[in-house]
Structures are given as structure tokens and as C-alpha cells.
């Protein structure tokens, strides 16, 4: 009897050991399968990364071909522009003047080629020129919300009298709503009387015909089309303002109608520009946010505007500002890393930022924005 019990125990142990061995073999097999799958995923990821790298290099080469073509077109347009301006000057009255740069618009927009003199309507202004800085502010109707008065108070009050004398602030009303234009003029003539009398503060209005047929984005859905048209118009608003300001000052500072400026911002800008050791800068950023606080040499504005107008339907203007480096800075076939290093040397960033975005209600109807410059 005892022998049978021992045999039964041995049999049970043997069955248990066999079951355990089968389980271990199953787990090991399962683990090996997972390792194989993991290895396959790694190899697939590596292959995708190599494919992406090759695709990026190919796109970069194609981009450089396009940019070289753009350089050629810019040179070609400059030559044509000189001929057109000369013809235009012959038919103007002796007392009439025209900004040569505005004639460039006719090359980009066929619908205005039959127009005579292309120029914004000067609502308030005394023709002040020969100053060091022109500050441009484009404004549109935001319905029940407006930040323009706050912006102008901040910008103007934080200048000294001598700084105000050596500068001009230009408010461009880029809105077809005449009631909004009248409200802006009324506010400025009441609140900023001294600046208006001295000619240090101007108000211009952009004629509606300049925008005709430019804002189409018919290939998009209705909601996307409205947003695209708003962005397109914003690029055009900035371009026209830049062209108007160009002959008035040595430098042009781009602002927006919903910002505030730091105390002594103008003094800091003047000192910084005067003390830059190298003159080989492209533009200076006094704010890291969007297109706010960007300082340009006025003599360079025409080149910037021509580039913006080539691609005004493709991207927002602050994105185009990044793209223009590819044309002006990077050489064909150059290593991208070297190009980026050189960009940092000529795209100067001043910190801390001198301007802060305060507008919550966007100029695009129904949109709210809470972007802030973290370096302010």
C-alpha cells in the first residue's frame, strides 16, 4: 500500500514538473516573439527616419531651386520698376509727387494697373520726413472692443520730447467702415493734440480698391476661407503701411494696435541700435511675439514687401519673415546647420522684450487670443 502511495506521489510530481516545463517554454516563446516584434518595430522606425531624412533633403534642394528663381524674379522686377516709374513721372504734374515703391503693387495686382496714382489717403498729417524712426500701427474695427487708444497712449507718452521730434507714429486705418475711420480720427485729434499739431502723429486710410479681388480663397471651405482672407488682408495691410512709411525715416518699427510699450522703450531702442558693433543685421526683434516690435532699415523695406507680396496668400507675415532668410542668407546646396548659425548672427533679438500683446479680442470676428510675450 505504501509503495502505491509513493508511486502515485512520484507520478504527480512528474506531471507537475512537466506542466511547469511546458509553461516555462510557453512564456519563453512568448517573450521571444515580443522581442522579435520589438526589433521589427525598431527596424521599421529606423527605415521611416531614413526615408524622412531623404525626403527632407530632397525638399530642401527643391526649395533652394525655387528661392534662386525668386532672386532672379526680384532682380527682373526691379529693372521693370525703374522703367515704369520713369514713364509715370513724365505724366505727373510738376507739383505732384509719387512714391516709386507703390508702383510695384501694379506688378503683383493686375486689377490696379489702370489706376493712376497709387497712394493711401492721408487723413491727418503734415508730411513730416527726415526723422530717425517711423512707427507703424495698422488698425481695424473690432466691434465693441478697441485697444488703439491704450496702445497710442503707451507708445507716445513713453517718449521724451526730443524723441517725439525725431520720430513719427503712423496709424493706418485698414477698414472700409467709415464710421470706424471717423471714430479713430476723433479720438486722436482730441487725445493727442500736440502730436497732431507737430506732425509726429499721422492717420492714413487704405483705399478699398486696392483689396479688390486680392482676398479670394475660394478653394477652401467657408469658415476656412474667411480666416484665410483675414490673414491675406493682414499681410497686405502691413505691406501698404511699410511702403508709406519708407521715405519718412531711417528706420521702421512695426507695432500693432493692441500692445503696450515699456517705460523708456524708445530710449532703449535708440541706444541699442546706435551701439550695435556690426552693421550686418537683417532686422532686430524688440518683441518675440508675431510681427510685433520688428525693426527694419527703411532702405530694405521694398525688398521685404516684394517678398511678402509674392507669397501673401500662402502664409501669415511673421512666417514669411522667417522664409525670407532662405532667400537672403542661405546659399544653394549649403548645409542647413551653417545657414541657421548665420541667421542667428544677423537676426538680432533684444531681451527683455519692450512690447507686450494685451488684446484679447482678435481683429478676426469671434476669435479670442491670450498670447503673451514671455520675455516681456
327 belongs to a structural domain? yes
All 3 cell numbers of residue 211? 483689396
Residues 129, 251 within the same domain:
yes
Residues 138, 228 within the same domain:
yes
**pLDDT, mean of residues 67-80:** 56
Q: What percent of the chain has pLDDT over 70?
A: 70
Please count the CA atoms within 13 angstroms of the CA of 371 that sit on its side-chain side. 14
288 belongs to a structural domain? yes
**pLDDT value at position 95?**
36
**pLDDT value at position 5?**
61
100 belongs to a structural domain? no
Structural domains in the chain (count): 2
**pLDDT value at position 39?**
66
Say if residue 116's pLDDT is above 90.
no
**pLDDT, mean of residues 256-267:** 97
80 belongs to a structural domain? no
Instruction: Return the top range by mean pLDDT from 117-121, 350-354, 370-374.
Output: 350-354
Say if residue 278's pLDDT is above 50.
yes
Which comes out higher in pLDDT, residue 56 or 349?
349
Residues 229, 163 within the same domain:
yes
Q: What is the rounded average pLDDT for all residues in the chain?
A: 81
d(CA 256, CA 154) in angstroms, rounded, equals: 12
Residues 238, 307 within the same domain:
yes
Among 20, 41, 73, which residue terminates a domain?
73
Question: Residue 57 is part of which domain span?
Answer: 1-73
Residues 43, 143 within the same domain:
no
Say if residue 89's pLDDT is above 50.
no
68 belongs to a structural domain? yes
Three-class DSSP category at 149: helix
Query: pTM here?
Result: 0.73
**pLDDT value at position 93?**
40
338 belongs to a structural domain? yes
**pLDDT value at position 66?**
57
Among 73, 108, 131, which residue terminates a domain?
73
| Contacts of residue 245, Cβ cutoff 8 Å, sequence gap at least 6 | 134, 136, 168, 170, 252, 298, 301
**pLDDT value at position 214?**
62
Per-residue pLDDT of 122-150, as tens digits, reads: 999 999 999 999 999 999 999 888 999 99
Residues 317, 236 within the same domain:
yes
59 belongs to a structural domain? yes
63 belongs to a structural domain? yes
Residues 24, 128 within the same domain:
no
Say if residue 60's pLDDT is above 90.
no
**pLDDT value at position 92?**
36
Domain containing residue 143: CATH number: 3.90.550.10
The single-letter DSSP state of residue 352 is: S
Amino acid at each position: 500500500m505504501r509503495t502505491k502511495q509513493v508511486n502515485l506521489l512520484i507520478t504527480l510530481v512528474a506531471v507537475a514538473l512537466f506542466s511547469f516545463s511546458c509553461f516555462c517554454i510557453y512564456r519563453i516563446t512568448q517573450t521571444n516573439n515580443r522581442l522579435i516584434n520589438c526589433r521589427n518595430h525598431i527596424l521599421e522606425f529606423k527605415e521611416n527616419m531614413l526615408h524622412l531624412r531623404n525626403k527632407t533633403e530632397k525638399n530642401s534642394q527643391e526649395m533652394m531651386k525655387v528661392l534662386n528663381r525668386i532672386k532672379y524674379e526680384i532682380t527682373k522686377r526691379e529693372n521693370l520698376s525703374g522703367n515704369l516709374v520713369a514713364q509715370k513721372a513724365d505724366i505727373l504734374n510738376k507739383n505732384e509727387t509719387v512714391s516709386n515703391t507703390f508702383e510695384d503693387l501694379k506688378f503683383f495686382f493686375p486689377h490696379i494697373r489702370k489706376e493712376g496714382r497709387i497712394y493711401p489717403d492721408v487723413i491727418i498729417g503734415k508730411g513730416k520726413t527726415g526723422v530717425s524712426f517711423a512707427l507703424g500701427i495698422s488698425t481695424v474695427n473690432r466691434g465693441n472692443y478697441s485697444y488703439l487708444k491704450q496702445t497710442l497712449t503707451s507708445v507716445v507718452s513713453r517718449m521724451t520730447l526730443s524723441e517725439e521730434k525725431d520720430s513719427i507714429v503712423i496709424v493706418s486705418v485698414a477698414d472700409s467702415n467709415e464710421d470706424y475711420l471717423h471714430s479713430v480720427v476723433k479720438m486722436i485729434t482730441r487725445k493727442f493734440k500736440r502730436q497732431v499739431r507737430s506732425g509726429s502723429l499721422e492717420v492714413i486710410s487704405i483705399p478699398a480698391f486696392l483689396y479688390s479681388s486680392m482676398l479670394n480663397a475660394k478653394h477652401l471651405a467657408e469658415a476656412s476661407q474667411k480666416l484665410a482672407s483675414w490673414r491675406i488682408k493682414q499681410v497686405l495691410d502691413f505691406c501698404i503701411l511699410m511702403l508709406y512709411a519708407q521715405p519718412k525715416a531711417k528706420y521702421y518699427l512695426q507695432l500693432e494696435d493692441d500692445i503696450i510699450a515699456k517705460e523708456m522703450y524708445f530710449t532703449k531702442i535708440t541706444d541699442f541700435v546706435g551701439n550695435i558693433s556690426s552693421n550686418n543685421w537683417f532686422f532686430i526683434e524688440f518683441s518675440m511675439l508675431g510681427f510685433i516690435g520688428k525693426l527694419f532699415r527703411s532702405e530694405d523695406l521694398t525688398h521685404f514687401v516684394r517678398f511678402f507680396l509674392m507669397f501673401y496668400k500662402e502664409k501669415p507675415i511673421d512666417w514669411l519673415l522667417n522664409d525670407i532668410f532662405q532667400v537672403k542668407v542661405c546659399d544653394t546646396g549649403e548645409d542647413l546647420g551653417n545657414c541657421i548659425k548665420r541667421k542667428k548672427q544677423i537676426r538680432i533679438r533684444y531681451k527683455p522684450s519692450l512690447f507686450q500683446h494685451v488684446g484679447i479680442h482678435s481683429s478676426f470676428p469671434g476669435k479670442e487670443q491670450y498670447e503673451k510675450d514671455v520675455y516681456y
